[in-house]
Structure 1
Amino acid sequence: MKIKFYILLLLCCIQGRVLLAQEKQPNILFIAIDDMNDWTGFLGGHPETITPNMDKLSKKSVNFTNAHTSAPGCSPSRNALLYGVQPFNSGLYPFYEHNIHEQLMQQYTSLPRLLKENGYSTFGAGKIHHGTLKDPREWTDYLDTQKNKKVFRKGEGYIKGKNGKYSFRPTLNPDEEHIDHQVASYGIEKLNEKHDKPFFLAVGIVKPHLPFDAPARFFDALPENITPPDMIENDADDIPKTGKSLRKIGEYNHYLNKDVWNDVRKAYLACISWADYNIGRVLDALENSAYADNTIVVLWSDHGYHLGEKQTFKKFTLWEEATKVPFIIYDGRPQEKLKPGTYSEAVSLINVYKTIADYTNINTPEYVDGESLVPIVKNQSVKLEDPTIISWGRGNYSVRNKDYRYIRYFDGGEELYNHKIDSNEWHNLAKDSDYQKIKNELNAHLPKHEKPMVSEHVSVWSIEGADKEKFKAKKSSSTTKNGNKNPKNKTK
């Protein structure tokens, strides 16, 4: 009897330690979304969007309604967030080949690695880094997704080119044949398992990234004619040279000349609804799991997206449509008594690293940029020390605070927009004498020092700003010398 008693006592002690660890360190559900702008219900970005699951989450969370990426492109945005370093402090301004990962892992400690090295089980699926990286230094387990040939509903949507990347069509495949469904199912599986350590569960939803293909029912739920975003014909008249060059107006004109902008926008909204559906599956699983009362949900998109505004398609600009992102933090621990609400001050995703470290009581490396948002989640009257800084190429920066956006390009070109009266950023006030004080105040927040651009493993097509001409000349010289063109990574 004594032996049984001591065994029972030992088991109780072990269970007690597990529960205590869970109380001290919450689980983290980390939902990363690819290329989603503010066309969601909880941000009010488009009147016809259908996002009931994210809307539901936002109502019980802190919804950061003025959140912005560190860079309007998948690779630099995710590098900044996952390694905790602004592009102007890391030199990671453009896109990079996936094999830069080892170099970065030698220099920095990624967020999942930080958590794993401090006692967390780390599970990942879908797109977390830019590229599927299953590094055992970061992940306890990572899902292998299964690609399947898509079956499309005939005669609907639009496709540009032959490789399927620029496709805007409804699919007829079963849900489980889509990558995002597999990713969400993996998240559900992990939430249904028993864990003896706190966990970091990263669910990387790929849509609405190109191609804009999604199950047909999400197209059918939308009206035939999609409301276009607000635009004016002379929008580019007061934009400086470099700003105009970032627009890549050829893609905008292609869809205009083909008269398919409605197809493009409808497909984008369908993909947003499809992403929301899968996010909802994971959130429902969390709500019904044993971890509902001890999990922090951090939902974010890596950058925004242009759907015709400023005669632009995709991202890669320093304007609102490309930098503004959905960003929600939910603290499910009843002892924290989270007061839901919205936060309208400008906030950068660079703060995610320190925020999660703060929640998990883990010290961050000294080089990590940003500040913890935990005080804001607890009290939305708290203000951050600095406005948000966005980079797209060395020397090209945007500064965003609650009411204004200031842009300065590497060649000295400037833009200033007053969001209190011009949310579409149609009227550049940089030369208006009445706004010089505000412009100077925002200008003072620009980085005083820029790290040189990391040139190893760089995707040359994505270089902008002060390094663009140098690398164009270098590439041209290399082409002339070798008699052929260097291969380019065109993964965008």
Structure 2
Amino acid sequence: MLRTAHHHPKNGDKMKIALWIVTVASLFCSAAAQAQQRPNVLFIAIDDMNDWTEFLDGHPQAKTPNMAALARRSVNFTNAHCAAPACSPSRNALLFGVEPFHSGLYPFYDLDKVPEEVLAPFTSLPTLFRSNGYQTFGAGKIHHSSKQRPDEWTDYHQRSVHALHYNAAAGYQQGDSRKMAFCPTTDPVEVHPDYQVASYGIDVLGQQHDKPFFLAVGIVKPHLPFVCPQQFFDLYPEEVAAPRIKTDDLSDVPWAGRAMAKLNDDARYRKDQAWNRVRRAYLACISWVDFNVGRVLDALDESPYADNTIVVLWSDHGYHLGEKRSFRKFSLWEQATRVPLIIHDPRPQSEMSPGDCDAPVSLINLYRTLTDMTGIVPPDYVDGTSMVPLIRDRSASINRPAITTWGRGNYSARDQDWRYIRYFDGSEELYDHDSDGEEWTNLADDPAYVSEIKRLRSFLPRHEAPLVTEGISLWNVVDADQPKLGNAKKTYRSLNKNSPPLESSHP
């Protein structure tokens, strides 16, 4: 019987083998460590929140301590603006990284009914992160009125449905309308949707992750109805400060602009003497938002991911609460376009410079900013500019105004000192924010400002994508595709004739 000879390695061979094992092991460990060092993203989306916060000083009584604390240790963009002043087009622009005038997605859409060939050229942020090795978790309102697409999310929160009970006697409600309610709820905080959404985010942050994660937490308030637990109403006095309002504010606004003002809401609240209750409920809902955002931020701070997680907090658009005779969003004025935007990057290599940044920026920039911060290559079509230079140096500039679109042909350009608006019919507005922060005096017809108008007009789109007509769920804007929607002149004159007189609230 033949015996197989056994080879006994010499000491030198043993050392080479050991060195090889150590080298291979170190390579694997290095790769694993590198994967774990890719930053996580906590993406906090808030619905319909304007600048009535402590960190933007939009209202003197606003109580938002948790978001204010985040702003102090982050870059707080105090001159940020939405791509469109409505939930659906704003979110489509931000999440797909494409301006409405390039996508054709101008009004509200049910994305499930938009033809696949329309959306095929675009990659949503969660899809991009997931395809680049991230686990993606979502809860609440991220997209608008759409089922969550299977290619986007590793997991998506399914909340339990609980019909909230309103204490209308402690606030205001329009008849039996559950949407138009402005009052406390009587339910435990745990059954409210935003509490559940925040709890899901807390659960995700409490898990062990072997991959980087993109966690999207979508808070719905202060979207209508303005309802939340009583304790947040209790933070405010019965009478809250009203915004400064000019009686004849719309007298120098073109008819296309006046058509955007929600005069019916303003007239009703004045008739019912309800504006104070509406505004108090809005402030209470913002404090409720702050409470839930604080819960998530506390969970992050207590987790092992605190030092490697980028936090982005944003709202999809602003909100009118009587300014310009208007309620809600749906305009190209400051109250509707200006949004909270906070970016926090705790990593030393980010070289973040915490504090306020007053450079004009658009939410369209978030796509390129997040891909820049995480080292992901964005698709070629993506609009916008990375804000990383501003995160490192708040005095830097991206040398262009923030563009807001509301219907094809209607655009606003907002820079450091000016807002310029051009409507589909060629009519214009120009406001000097250095001396007129409320946008009370339209300078568009003053020949002294021709050069300023020409400069800002040069940033507006020269080519507009045609309107995507399939899948529209709401179309409520006067624009190039629907120029006869409503009758602004008739509505304006009728309401001015039949409504209670408007009292000016400015000196």
TM-score in terms of structure 2 length = 0.89
Post-superposition offset of 1:170: 0.4
Give, in angstroms, the shift of residue 132 of structure 1.
Answer: 4.8
Amino acid at match of 1:202: A
Q: Distance in 2 between matches of 1:107 and 1:37?
A: 32
Distance in 2 between residues matched to 1:304 and 1:11, nearest whole Å: 53
Aligned-partner Cα distance in 2 for 1:345–1:213: 34
Tell me what 1:421 maps to: 435
Deviating more after overlay: 324-333 vs 143-152: 143-152
Task: Report the Cα distance in structure 2 between the residues aligned to 1:37 and 1:336, rounded to whole angstroms.
Answer: 28
**2:179 equivalent in structure 1:** 165
> In structure 2, how many angstroms separate the alpha carbons of the residues matched to 1:426 and 1:59?
31
* Maintained 8 Å contact 2:372/2:386: yes
Q: CA RMSD in A?
A: 2.1
Q: Secondary structure at the match of 1:222?
A: coil
Q: Does 1:37 align with 2:50?
A: yes
| Amino acid in the other structure paired with 1:152 | Y
Instruction: From the superposition, tell whether residues 132 and 47 of structure 1 become closer, same or farther in structure 2 (CA, over 3 Å).
Output: same
Q: Distance in 2 between matches of 1:247 and 1:32?
A: 26
Give the structure 2 partner of residue 477 of structure 1.
none
Q: Which residue of 2 aligns with 1:343?
A: 357
Counterpart code for 2:61:
E
User: Which residue of structure 2 lines up, in the alignment, with residue 88 of structure 1?
Assistant: 101
Native 8 Å contact 2:259 2:478 kept in 1: no
Unaligned runs of 5+ in 2: 1-19, 487-507
What are the residue-to-residue correspondences of 1:459-478 with 2, within 5 Å?
459-469=473-483
1:259-274 matches, within 5 Å, as 259-274=273-288
* Distance in 1 separating the partners of 2:33 and 2:82: 36
Contact 1:126/1:132 (CA < 8 Å) preserved in 2? no
Judging changes above 3 Å, is the alpha-carbon distance between structure 1 residues 142 and 10 closer, same or farther for their aligned structure 2 residues?
Answer: farther
Secondary structure of the 2:412 match is strand
- What one-letter code is carried by the residue in structure 1 that aligns with 2:269? Y
**Is 1:303 the equivalent of 2:321?**
no
Q: Which residue of 2 aligns with 1:64?
A: 77
Match of 1:243 in 2: 257
Structure 1 residues 230-284: Cα deviation after superposition (integer angstroms, max 9, x where no partner):
0010101100010001112011111110001011000000000000100000011
Structure 1 181/15 Cα, relative in aligned 2: closer, same or farther at 3 Å?
A: farther
- AA in 2 matched with 1:370: G
Higher gyration radius (CA): 2
Deviations 1:167-219 (A, max 9, x none): 10101211110000000000010011011111000000000000000010000
Q: Give me the whole-angstrom Cα distance separating, in 1, the residues matched to 2:246 and 2:484.
A: 35
Counterpart selection for 1:434 from 448, 454, 466: 448
| Counterpart code for 2:80 | A
For the 8 Å contact 2:50–2:340, the answer to whether it is kept is yes
Q: What pairs with 1:13-162 in structure 2 (closer than 5 Å)?
A: 16-23=30-37, 25-100=38-113, 103=116, 104-153=118-167, 155-162=169-176
Q: CA deviation at 1:374?
A: 1.1
2:260 and 2:477 in contact (8 A); partners too: no
1:258: which partner in 2? 272
Distance in 1 (alpha carbons) for counterparts of 2:221 and 2:384: 27
Secondary structure of the 1:462 match is coil
Q: CA offset at residue 439 of structure 1?
A: 1.0
- Candidates 184, 188, 202, aligned match of 2:216: 202
Q: Deviations over 1:1-31 (max 9, x none)?
A: xxxxx999988865543322122x2000000
Identity %: 55
Partner of 1:375: 389
**Cα separation, 2, equivalents of 1:105 and 1:14:** 39
> When the two structures are aligned, how many residues end up with a matched partner?
469
Task: Give 1:154 deviation, angstroms.
Answer: 5.7
> 1-side partners of 2:76 and 2:451: how far apart?
31
Please tell me the residue identity of whatever aligns with 1:30. F
- The answer (yes or no) to whether the contact 1:394–1:464 under 8 Å persists in 2 is no
Residue 478 of structure 2 contacts residue 485 of structure 2 at CA under 8 Å; is this kept in 1?
no
Q: Post-superposition shift, 1:338?
A: 2.3
CA distance in 2, matches of 1:312, 1:48: 21
Unaligned stretches of 5+ residues in structure 1:
1-5, 473-492
